[in-house]
Structure 1
Amino acid sequence: MKKISPFSLLIFVLLALISCNEEPPKTLADYVDPFIGTGGHGHTFPGATAPFGMVQLSPDTRKDSWDGCSGYHYSDQVILGFSHTHLSGTGVGDYGDIRMMPTVGAIQLNPGTAENPDSGYA
């Protein structure tokens, strides 16, 4: 009868252990995508809010245009600030949003270009 080598036994045990790995269970939060509807013509904002809540904190990326109705658009690369009142599907600052932007140092009010954003802040 042939003898099983220790190396073969080790390979067999390792393969058996690797095949027993169980994938961690998914939580409900794993199925949430807050950016659904923020691109194209979805006009939704990605911020969290309570049902019938009065505060909808979310970033603002557009000042005007049809795609900026909710104040945020997924394709934008510059955040203009954060405001506390957003409506999904309507807006463009219709309700007098007060925009806040945390800064450090001297405030620059000139917008930078997309090619050179360090030249200013939007």
Structure 2
Amino acid sequence: YLGDPIDAKTALQYGMVNRVVPGAELEAATLKFARRMALMSPEALAATKLAINRGADAAGFRNAIRAGLDVLAGLYAARTEVGTKFDEIREKEGLGAALRWRAAQFSD
């Protein structure tokens, strides 16, 4: 709910990803995965993708995304004092400075 970043291990625990590899092994693992996928027929891949998407739709995934976007659209469109200040700092001093300013708002 708070939008805190999570690390790869936590994403794995939450089921957001199915595998985590060390950064040094990422390219090799990615190429291995891509090579396996390249051996599959395009028709089989398309059918699998369609089945996954339809399953997600049946579970209400698309409606959940739309509902979230409906809520967030108003938040992004609304101009707040904090948002305006953040944007000013970002434009003048860069994103890093704006993020540090925002973090300082919540420090003890």
Q: TM-score, normalised by structure 1?
A: 0.18
Which structure features the higher share of strand residues?
1
Q: TM-score, normalised by structure 2?
A: 0.20
